[in-house]
Structure formats: structure tokens, C-alpha cells
Amino acid sequence: MIEVKRITKQYGNTTVLEECSLTVEKGEIYALVGVNGAGKTTLQKLAAGFLEPTSGRVYVHGMPAWENKEEIQRYLGSLIEVPVFYEHLTAEENLNLHLEYMGVQADVGKILGTVGLEGIGSKPVSAFSLGMRQRLAIARALLHRPEILILDEPFNGLDPVAADEMKRVLMKSAGDGMTILISSHILGDIAQMADTVGIIAGGKIQKEFSMKEYREKEAGEFEREVLQIMKGGTI
């Protein structure tokens, strides 16, 4: 569903990604893990068609992402960096506007319930806490039932209970066939939910872990190995 093929991304003279490749299969949760500045957000923006690669290509649903950046939004739900809402409008109004924009219909009340915002859909977003905004952003990403979800550190600002609920929502969505590319630096969350973990360092995926194997191994071994690779440095 997502194929990153030998992507290089430079900002001016700075090379952030260099010949970086990865594949996310349908129904898979692929987690990107890396230190601050490793290039996780950049890679997710490239996958969502929000950034043009310096070289290489990202294919989403078989289409080159940048060249089809509008077309692929139908298949994509994304939460990348700080979500932007119409502050004076309510959560429901924000979600309805998104549906209108996407040209689809969905049950706004139900999705608010899914992310734990039931009963507060009629509050203006300006009154929302960071965690509530994050929940609303996840609701918006899920709203049009996209086949692919791209989530950049979606647990930021969520308390452990909310993060746990959100993990369950995402795992269930993947179980129903949704493909998820997620970044997080909370290794515990990742270990719990991901099928594959890709460690990004030095501009590329240095190592991939199939979590099925790791869940069977001794607790702590995954985190030890990941930390060691992450410390391997950036370009």
C-alpha cells in the first residue's frame, strides 16, 4: 500500500533522507522509530504527498505520491505535526467541513465516540486541551474511512488511558484492513501495536523488526536493541 523507493530528501544543503526505502503492506501497522531529527516527519510528509522528494519515489496505492498528491488524499487519513482546526467552530462543525471537503458522508457522532469525545462535539475547538485536539485530529484522520492512515506521533498530549484507547482503535482498524504508517518515540506503545518497526537513522531504515518474533522474546530486549541502533546517529 505504501512503497518508499530510494527516496533522498534534502532541505537546501542538508540531506535528511538518503536512498531510503520501505514497504508497508495492506493491513499492516508499520512504526517508524528514530531520534529527534532522524527524518520521521519528513518521510511521512513524503508518503502523504505533502513534500516533493529530491530523488526517488513514494508509491501510495500504486500511484506516485507527489505526482498524484490530490488524488491520493481520497485513500489517506493523516495527522502530521500540529493539527489545524477552525478554532471558533465546534468539533462537529470541523468534522462536517472535512467531510464536505472530502465529498463523503460519515457518522460524526460515532467517530467522536470512538476517540472518547462523546458529548463535547458542540464545544468550540478553541476550548479544547492539547489531548482533546489530538483526539479530534485522529477522528478527522479516520472519518472518511481511509485505506491508509499516516500518523506522526499521534500519542503526543494524550494521557496513558487515552493513548491506550487510541492504540486499541488503531489495532482494530488495522485488523479491519487499514494500513497504518505511524511514528512514535514511545517504544512501549510501538512494541505493543506495531507489526513491523523500522528504525530510521543516518537517512535510511537501518533495521526492521518483525514484532511477532519480538513479542515472544524476553521483555526489554526489543527496547535495548532499538536504543542501540537509534544512537547510531544521523547524517
Residues that bind ligand ADP (CB under 6 A): 11, 14, 16, 34, 36-42
Please report how close the Cβ of residue 219 comes to ligand ADP at its closest, in angstroms.
26
Question: Applying CB under 5 A, what is the total number of residues that bind Mg ion?
Answer: 2
Assess 44 for contact with Mg ion (CB under 5 A): no
Stretch that binds Mg ion, among 10-18, 34-42, 94-102, 214-222 (CB under 5 A): 34-42
Report helix angle 130-142 to 91-102, nearest 10: 30
Stretch that binds Mg ion, among 35-43, 169-177, 186-194, 213-221 (CB under 5 A): 35-43
Task: Tell me the C-alpha distance between 4 and 23, whole Å.
Answer: 6
Strands 148-152 and 204-210: unpaired
Please report how close the Cβ of residue 126 comes to ligand ADP at its closest, in angstroms.
27
Q: Which is nearer to ligand ADP, 143 or 230 (CB)?
A: 230
Assess 179 for contact with Mg ion (CB under 5 A): no
| Binding residue (CB under 5 A) for Mg ion from 2, 31, 41, 49 | 41
Q: Which is nearer to ligand ADP, 116 or 154 (CB)?
A: 154
Q: Which is nearer to ligand ADP, 36 or 129 (CB)?
A: 36
Stretch that binds Mg ion, among 41-49, 72-80, 122-130, 192-200 (CB under 5 A): 41-49
Q: Which is nearer to Mg ion, 84 or 127 (CB)?
A: 84
For CA atoms 166, 43, 191, 153, the dihedral sign is negative
Assess 78 for contact with Mg ion (CB under 5 A): no
For CA atoms 18, 20, 9, 154, the dihedral sign is negative
Assess 42 for contact with Mg ion (CB under 5 A): no
61 binds, among Mg ion, ligand ADP, none (CB under 5 to 8 A by kind): none
34 binds, among Mg ion, ligand ADP, none (CB under 5 to 8 A by kind): ligand ADP
CA neighbor of 225 nearest in space, from 206, 216, 105: 206
C-alpha cell at 78: 493523516
Q: Which is nearer to ligand ADP, 91 or 137 (CB)?
A: 137
Q: Which is nearer to Mg ion, 49 or 121 (CB)?
A: 49
Residues contributing to the site for Mg ion (CB under 5 A): 40-41
